[in-house]
Structure 1
Amino acid sequence: MRFRRLVAPVLLALAATLALPAVPASAALPTYDHIVVLIEENHSAAEVIGSASAPYLTSLATNGANMTQSYAVTHPSEPNYLALYSGSTQGLTDDSCPHTYSGENLGHQLLAAGRSFAGYSQTMPSAGYTGCTYGRYARKHNPWVNFTNVPASANLRFADFPTSYANLPKLSFVVPDLCYDMHDCSVSTGDTWVKNNLGAYATWAKANNSLLVVTFDEDDRSAGNKIPTIFSGAHVATGTYSERITHYTVLRTLESLTGVGCTGNSCAVSPVSDIWN
């Protein structure tokens, strides 16, 4: 009798535990060796994803995480670059140049945490260049050059982009020039540039614990500022994802993936957490 009295409560507790519904574990964000963020220009999601003019970017979206409700923060271009990079438009409402800021930003966050960072701008004439324009290069599309707490050594030409991808920084941005970012040239021209210049990295990333993020600064003012945003690489669960995100969400995701704190308006949003496997 005494044995039964001792065992019965244990069995009841066990049965109650087994009857509880399973609580799914929170999805953990992966830790990448390398992340490359590509910024293209001035086209809505509908003009790119699924378009015959953009077969390569469409293939990235089809075989990666296609964020179907991704929105830029504002118009015109420059405030969006600042939002994506620093969590704030810095009060800017135009594409003027030059500007100097001293606040927190993703590049400084990474360097302060002992992680590597660089921005690669096509057609920029020299590393550390601070001029507003040079040929088809535009400083308005290069936010890191504006911040005094990011060294000139992080402001690189796309010609400096490593051919051995294992030598890439922890996180880097790639900004094509005014033709190949689709600002002045066609979607097809930009799509071909991405394939020819980052397609090999995109393939390499999947097998080498790395990630490619493709996003746009803004739409062409035709679609409520809905823009393409794609995550492609290792640990990405293929699919379409319909949660609303903005440049601030992408920034918060990059911060979380690299283990640094949030900054500015990225602190008011959560990172993308449902696309990882």
Structure 2
Amino acid sequence: MKKIIASLTLAATAFANTSLFAAEGNAAPTGVLHLDHVWVILRENHGYGQLRNNPNAPFINKYAESANTADNYFAVAHPSLTNYLEIVGGSNFGVLADNFPDWHNPACTPNIVSGTQNNEHSGGAPVCPIYGNGSDAPTPAIDKTNETTGEPGTINIDGKMSIPADTSTHGRTIADQLVARGMTWKSYQENLPVFGADYVNYSDGTFTNNSILPAPLKSSDIVQLYAVKHNPFAYFQSVQDGYDPQLSLSQVRGFDGQGGLYEDLGSGKVPNFSLIAPNQCNDQHGRGNAGPICNFDPADNGTQTGLNNALIYQGDVTVQRLVTAIRRSPAWNRGRNAIVVVWDENDYSLVPITNQVLFIVDTNYGRHGVHSSRFYDHFSLLRSLEAGFGLSCLNHACDAQSKVMGDIF
């Protein structure tokens, strides 16, 4: 009986996925030829001007010159989780905060269905598992109600462009799309505990938010190296429930060990799409309890003078390590492939500082050293990935201003 119920559940889930996929109703974008593998390396909380020509980021700047860059590329909104969701799903899904998931709660109504927002003033309320259809939250050009209250306000995008709410938002991501087309994905999360991501909000690789620590230690002593806010797929009901093993938390792996990033790269058995999130010391985010090298920037004022130079350099070495490992993988020379290095947001974007971030794409084909001045944002990235994988556009990736990045892919 259990097997019958499981089979029926899988069939129902597959039917729902297929129906929603069809409901998107859009042809696959064009402008990027077929891609076999894409690795997206996410970086944290620094603007374009803080990294470009920064002497403490020598590899990143050399890489930006030898690969291709979008020099007019913008993150969408704030904070981190919002941008991660926008990269993989083309929407904020009504989530404008870094709050933890409300794990496996079927009674919790998703924000897109309820029409409410989970924002910085929601008191840390967990994020309901995302599914279904409805409306996301609008993105004003200058936000004076979420991360800041009143003047001068936080700039979203370039401070001029605003995005209205999408009332036909689908609670899906590129992972749903890939699996529906028989392709594969993984979310590689550094310092994920060995037992996986389920119910884990943060971890140092050993201890998690669920650990019982020996006295006198307390949960605040744990260095939050892995952070679920940087693992966007974990917020979706399809992945949490995992009725389809290919669309489940089993596709969320660490950097090391069986099925991890480095083993997959070494064997060449890599998914079509990889989201790579280094830990919060290696992604340039920083932590306040991990020592001086990993400390937050002492004066996050939008300039290079306010940065923790050690944190910037540590992140630079991490990018070099990851790019080198990918390019040495047997998979790199098999098919048409791309590496994307992108920052989630300019964490310091009070007026007049915009949300411009650095974007690098490296391919094993075509031209290199191209510097594009065209306007792009995170929705452009998703649309470009969908074009390369032959997938229909999803949510705001379908918007008229979301252009395919054909000049640098």
What TM-score do you get using the length of structure 2 for normalisation? Answer: 0.58
Q: Is the 8 A contact 2:73 2:359 kept in 1?
A: yes
- The CA distance in 1 between the partners of 2:332 and 2:182, in whole Å, is 25
AA at the equivalent of 1:111: V
> RMSD of the TM alignment (CA)?
1.8
Task: Say which of 171, 182, 200 aligns to 1:131.
Answer: 200
Q: Match for residue 218 of structure 1? A: 345
Tell me the alpha carbon deviations over residues 61-113 of structure 1, each in whole angstroms, 9 at most, x when there is no partner: 11111100111111111111111111111111211111311211111111111
Q: Match for residue 54 of structure 1? A: 57
Q: Match for residue 146 of structure 1? A: 235
Q: Match for residue 96 of structure 1? A: 99
Task: Say which of 79, 83, 90 aligns to 1:80.
Answer: 83
- The CA distance in 2 between the partners of 1:28 and 1:266, in whole Å, is 14
AA at the equivalent of 1:176: P
- The CA distance in 2 between the partners of 1:57 and 1:228, in whole Å, is 10
Q: Match for residue 163 of structure 1? A: 265
- The CA distance in 2 between the partners of 1:266 and 1:124, in whole Å, is 30
| Cα distance, 1:44 vs structure 2 | 0.8
AA at the equivalent of 1:105: T
Q: Match for residue 118 of structure 1? A: 186
Q: Match for residue 195 of structure 1? A: 320
- The CA distance in 1 between the partners of 2:43 and 2:31, in whole Å, is 29
Task: Say which of 68, 72, 77 aligns to 1:69.
Answer: 72
| Cα distance, 1:166 vs structure 2 | 2.4
Bigger CA radius of gyration: 1
Aligned length: 250
**Which structure's residues are more often helix, by fraction?**
1
Tell me the alpha carbon deviations over residues 188-231 of structure 1, each in whole angstroms, 9 at most, x when there is no partner: 11010111233231465764432100101101324401001111
Q: Which runs of 5+ in 1 are unaligned?
A: 1-26
Q: Which is further off, 37-46 or 206-215?
A: 206-215
Task: Say which of 241, 250, 253 aligns to 2:384.
Answer: 253
Q: Secondary structure at the match of 2:326?
A: helix
AA at the equivalent of 1:58: N
Q: Match for residue 407 of structure 2? A: 274
Q: Is the 8 A contact 1:30 1:235 kept in 2?
A: no
Structure 1 residue 231 corresponds to structure 2 residue 361: yes
Q: Is the 8 A contact 2:69 2:408 kept in 1?
A: no
Tell me the alpha carbon deviations over residues 118-176 of structure 1, each in whole angstroms, 9 at most, x when there is no partner: 10000110334331111211101110111122311111112201132621101110001
- The CA distance in 2 between the partners of 1:146 and 1:264, in whole Å, is 17
Q: Is the 8 A contact 2:31 2:404 kept in 1?
A: no
What TM-score do you get using the length of structure 1 for normalisation? Answer: 0.85
- The CA distance in 2 between the partners of 1:66 and 1:244, in whole Å, is 12
- The CA distance in 2 between the partners of 1:118 and 1:107, in whole Å, is 8
Q: Which is further off, 68-77 or 163-172?
A: 163-172
Q: Which runs of 5+ in 2 are unaligned?
A: 1-29, 102-126, 132-170, 205-224, 240-247, 287-293, 295-310
- The CA distance in 1 between the partners of 2:249 and 2:273, in whole Å, is 16
